[in-house]
Amino acid sequence: MQIAEIIRRIERAADPRHAAAWDKCGIQIAGSADACDKLAVGLDPTPATVRAALDWGARFILTHHPLLLAPRLPDRRDAYHEVLRLTLSSGAWLYAAHTSLDVRPDGPAGWPMRDFGLKNVCVLEPTGPLPGHADPARLPDGLREMGFGLAGDLPAPLPYGEFLDTLAGLTGRTFFTLAGRPPENVVRVAFCPGSGSDLAQAAAKARADILVTGDLKYHQALEAPIPVLDVGHFCLEERMMRLLADTFAEELGPLGVEVRHFPGRDPLAPCLVGGQTWRKPE
C-alpha cells in the first residue's frame, strides 16, 4: 500500500486538524519508502520500540505520543538522536496520532466507555461535532460531539470496592492513587486516558462521582471538587493503542498490510519498603 494511502486511513481515524493547538500530530519523520507492507503501532517512539519495529521490517511506525513537542537540533547522543538515526537510516516513516486520536469517542480512546457499558454519556471538554464518518455503532445514543474526556452512568451502581476491582481487571493494575474521599457507591464515572486531571471541574459539572485519569498533581489533588483516581498515564493509553492496532489489522490486513502492536513499558513502578521494586511480570 502506498504511504499516502496509509496516512489517509490514519487521518480518517485521527484527523490532525482536530488536535489541540499545542500538539505536534502528524508526520514526525518523513521516510524514503514509497510503500508499506508492515505497519507498526505503539504508544511511545522510544528507541526500544522503534528498533523492535524496524527489526520486524516495519516501513511505517505509528505512535500515540509525538517524538517532540518543541523541535530542536540533534546535538547530543540521546534517545531523540537514536530514534532519528534508526528511522532515517532505514527509510521508514514515523507518524504520531496524539490528541487527534484522544478526541474521538468512537475510536479506541473511548474503550472505557464501551467496556463499562456507560449510558447517558457526555464529553467533558467538547471540541466540535463528530465527523460524518464516525461509527454510530461505537457510540451511545445521542453522543454527537468529540473532545477530551467522557462521563456516563454505569449500567447499575457499584460499591466503591467493586468499582475498583472492575477497574483493576480492565487496566491490569493492582494499585491506584486516590485524591479525595471515596464515594460509597459509584453511579456516574468520568474518565480521560493519559493526563486529564485538569478536567476535574468539568467532571464535577457532569455530575460524575469520580474521575479516572493519570498524572494527578499535588495542588490539583488538593483542589479537586470530586474524587480523582490516578491510574497512571500508561495503562489506559497502552490498551488504546493495542485496540487501534487491532482495528488497522482488520482494515488493512486484507489489503496486504501486516499490522503489529509493539507493547510499551510503564516507566513508573511502585517502590516497596526495603528498596524492592515491583513490576508486573512480562
For residue 34 the three cell numbers come to: 514509497
- Domains delineated in the chain: 3-100+237-261 (3.40.1390.30), 104-231 (3.40.1390.30)
Burial profile 76-114: b = 16 or more Cβ within 10 angstroms, e = fewer = eeeebebbbebbeebebbbbbbbbbbbbbbbbbbbbbbe
How many beta carbons lie within 10 A of that of residue 258, not counting itself?
15
pTM: predicted TM-score of the whole model, two decimal places:
0.94
The mean per-residue pLDDT over the stretch 57-71 comes to 97
What's the pLDDT score for residue 276?
59
* 81 has binding-site annotation: no
How many beta carbons lie within 10 A of that of residue 115, not counting itself?
13
pLDDT at 282 over 60: no
* 64 has binding-site annotation: yes
pLDDT tens digits, one per residue of 246-278: 999 999 999 999 999 999 999 998 887 775 555
User: How far apart are the C-alpha atoms of 41 and 149, rounded to whole Å?
Assistant: 23
Arithmetic mean of pLDDT over the chain: 95
pLDDT at 280 over 90: no
pLDDT tens digits, one per residue of 169-191: 999 998 899 999 999 999 999 99
What's the pLDDT score for residue 203?
99
The mean per-residue pLDDT over the stretch 83-92 comes to 98
What is the distance in angstroms between the CA of the first residue and the CA of the last residue of the chain? 33
Kindly give the interhelix angle for 160-171 and 233-252, rounded to the nearest 10 degrees: 50
* 233 has binding-site annotation: yes
For residue 63 the three cell numbers come to: 505512535
**DSSP H stretches of helix in 14-158:** 47-56, 79-90, 99-102, 111-116
* 237 has binding-site annotation: yes
pLDDT tens digits, one per residue of 212-229: 999 999 999 999 999 999
